[in-house]
Amino acid sequence: MAEATVTQLARDLVEIPSHENERRAGDYIEAWLHDHTDAAVERDPYGNVLARRGTPAGDGTDDSPTLALVGHHDVVPPDERQRDGDEYVVERRDGRLYGRGAADMKGAVAAAILAFRDVDHPGLVFASFVGEEVGGHGARAAIEDGFAPDYAVVGEGSTGYSAPGVTDVAVAHKGRRASTLVAEGVAAHASEPEQGENAIYRAADAIAALQELPVPETTVLGRDLQGSLVVTEIKGGSAWNVVPERCTVTVDERTVPGERAPLDSLTGVRWELDQDLPPMACRDERFAESVLAAAREAQDGRPDGVVKPHATDAGWLAEAGTTCVVCGPAEQGEAHTATESVSLAALDRCREIYRRTAERVLGWRS
Query: Would the pLDDT of 366 be above 80?
Result: no
**pTM across the whole model:** 0.91
For the domain spanning 175-277, the CATH number is 3.30.70.360
Give the per-residue SS3 of the chain: CCCCCHHHHHHHHHHCCCCCCCHHHHHHHHHHHHHHCCCEEEECCCCCEEEECCCCCCCCCCCCCCEEEEEECCCCCCCHHHEECCEECCEEECCEEECCCHHHHHHHHHHHHHHHHHCCCCCEEEEEECCHHHCCHHHHHHHHCCCCCCEEEECCCCECCCCCCCECEEEEECEEEEEEEEEECECEECCCHHHCECHHHHHHHHHHHHCCCCCCEEEECCEEEECEEEEEEEEECCCCCEECCEEEEEEEEEEECCECCCHHHCCCCEEEEEEEECCEECCCHHHHHHHHHHHHHCCCCCCCEEEECCCCHHHHHHHCCCEEEECCCCECCCCCCCCCEEEHHHHHHHHHHHHHHHHHHCCCCC
For the domain spanning 6-173+279-361, the CATH number is 3.40.630.10
Residue 1 confidence (pLDDT): 40
Residue 364 confidence (pLDDT): 82
How do the domains of the chain map onto residue ranges? Answer: 6-173+279-361, 175-277
Query: Would the pLDDT of 127 be above 80?
Result: yes
Summarised one tens digit per residue, pLDDT across range 242-290 is 999 999 999 999 999 988 999 999 999 999 999 999 999 999 999 999 9
